Structure 1
Amino acid sequence: MAKIALITGATAGIGEACAHTFAQHGYDLILTGRRLERLEKLAHHLNDKYNVEIAVSSFDVRNREEVVRSLDSLPSKWRAVDVLVNNAGLSQGLDPINSGSYEDWDTMIDTNVKGLLYVSRVVSNWMITNGRGHIVNLGSIAGKEVYPNGNVYCASKHAVDALTKGMRIDLLQHGIKVTAVHPGMVETEFSEVRFKGDKDRAKKVYEGFEPLKAEDIADTIWFVASRPAHVNINDILIMPTAQATATNVIKKNT
């Protein structure tokens, strides 16, 4: 019987890369995200390429009722989730605290913190019933240190770091593993979303050095998820070679 991985935010970037990686290793998948057309296209592609079963569930992690209803409506066989990858997350804006957008703050907190909680609340209970499971939370270098104008995004990722530690303690008695993976600069849709679709500004973030790729993070997540039953990787911080801290990046003249 194939193992099952549930991946949130699977429509692009790290989530999509994780879907490819887990499917390649024979996992059946539950793929979630807001863009149903992308989810269905990815599901068909992975099914054709790897011959794995895939369930698609389109919802916004910010909406608690939608999260619970969508996950609870899945056929019972899909509740045997072995790995939950809490990938859905984003950054909005890059403004000092005194001029930040209330809407941006709500979007980041509701997605990065509350959305992670809503999904984890449902799936952790499935894992407790099954007597096994592994939750992998996507953090960030922003969850380890704070940088100028990163205020609320950094706070939300610090919350992910703290929640991961708390979840690990709470779920210890049930034999459920909990891991946090904290990437540095990864070239995905992240900066484009942060800058509200400004592709030129987003592109400049990654000029002059080689950033991480979504596949690098997916490989790392696969590594932690594929350790033997008695091994848990608690925490990983993964950076491009050209990056030392959130703000120290060596860029060549372009």
Structure 2
Amino acid sequence: MVKMMGRRLRWPWPPTLVRVLIIAAWLVVWEAVVRFGLVGQLLVAPPSSTVVAMVELAGLPEIQAGFVETLLEFVVGFGVAAVVGTLLGFVLGLSPAAFRILNSPLMTLYGTPKSIFLPLFVVFLGLGYQSPAAFAALSAVFPVIITVIAGIRALDQRLLMTADSLGASRLDKVRFVFLPGTFPAIISGLWLGIKQALLAVLLAEMFISGTRNVGYWIAHYASAFQAASVYALIAWLSLLAIALGLAWRRLEAHASRWRLTERGATL
């Protein structure tokens, strides 16, 4: 009896199959609820109509151009946040004086709702891609800064003592101790920045209708009560987010192998 209680219960089917079955059941219930009139199709589109709308919208040049515009805003915003956040994180993590001076203003800005800066971005940067990109950079930079600082402070002090005993310069310590040692924190912060940047871009696009990006088209179809088109664009954005996650995992795997190679070369 005790032996049986100590065993872990296992599903008779593979976990992937279970997930697929759960999603399929959810889609069937969703389709039935809408088709039987329990929810109005004016506000909630069934999955079948959403799939049809996905195919139709994918062939429209204006929708394709909208996704290109959104990706441009995301790449620019996240790129700025990644560079600035990593550099600021190292400066604040390695310099106690810089941390004392900049920590309070940065934490105040971090706790401030970023949406209040959208009108300022429109005033100073206009209605083009620059405003959503700047808003994405502002939203994504703080997770990068915080995780880099945390990674530096969690670094094993014995590594620094060893580097000091070997006469390593400050640049050598940054290259061979801090960068490899904080690598997991940097990767984690950048991944958080990716998610924040994508959300910020979409929020800014729905507020700023200067260009016909994805956020513009979502607001356009929502105002026209075309629920299937709205759901279709959201579905395409979800697939884009999944693709970004898979690409990031591959990049992380390659970077991890580089880290191991770099550490092996220095030993």
TM range (shorter): under 0.3
Q: Which has the higher contact order (CA 8 A, sep 6+)?
A: 2
| Structure holding more helix per residue | 2
| Structure holding more strand per residue | 1
TM-score, structure 2 length as denominator? 0.24
